[in-house]
Amino acid sequence: MNVETALQRLKEKGYKRTKQRERIVEIFVQQDQYIAAKDILKTIQEDFPGVSYDTIYRNLYLLTEEEILETTELGGEKHFRLGCETHGHHHHFICTTCGKTKPIEFCPMNSINENLKGYDVENHKFEIYGKCPQCH
């Protein structure tokens, strides 16, 4: 996913193209890893000193809603990353030091033969945490 594709998708839904929004998407395209809201804020303030958390969160949630970003909880705070649609549905190894990820193609839901009759499955999470080769 590149910046233009993402913004194009937003435009189709009637969302406007703003410099801040553009920059946020750009950051995610550049950094292929999970990033916390506060780090997005820090980075974007280099270009737009005035941005507020309101702008950050509003856009992060919008981008997640539009399936441009994926989100997960790391160490008590939400982290976001560009959704990598090339692989279709998949999971991640997540480095607990740098936040970089490695796609895991295997999905445990395909292997579930537990009896979940009567249970309404809405969602699932499978994540492996540890140190990537660089941080190891």
Partner DNA sequence: TCAAAAAATAATAATGATTACGATTTAAAT
Partner DNA sequence: ATTTAAATCGTAATCATTATTATTTTTTGA
List interacting residues with its own copies (CB under 8 A). Answer: 73, 76, 78, 93, 96, 102, 104-106, 108-109, 111-114, 116, 118-133, 136
Among 4, 11, 103, 135, binds DNA (CB under 7 A): 11
Query: Under a CB-based contact definition with an 8 Å cutoff, are residues 27 and 40 in contact?
Result: yes
Q: Is 112 exposed, middle or buried (0-12, 13-18, 19+ CB in 10 A)?
A: exposed
Say how far apart CA 80 and CA 61 lie, in whole Å: 9
Stretch 45-84: interaction string toward DNA, x if CB under 7 A = ---x-xxxxxx-xxx-x--------------xxx------
Consecutive H or E run containing 79: strand 77-82
CB of 36 to DNA, least distance (A): 6
Strand pairing report for 35-36 and 77-82: antiparallel
Residue closer to DNA, measured from CB, 1 or 66: 66
- Position among 19, 42, 124, 131 found at the interface with DNA (CB under 7 A): 19
Residues 80-104 as b or e (16 or more Cβ within 10 Å = b): bbbbeeeeeeebbebbeeebbbeeb
Least distance (Å) from its own copies to the CB of residue 108?
4
Binding residues (CB under 7 A) for DNA: these are 11, 14-21, 36-38, 48, 50-55, 57-59, 61, 76-78
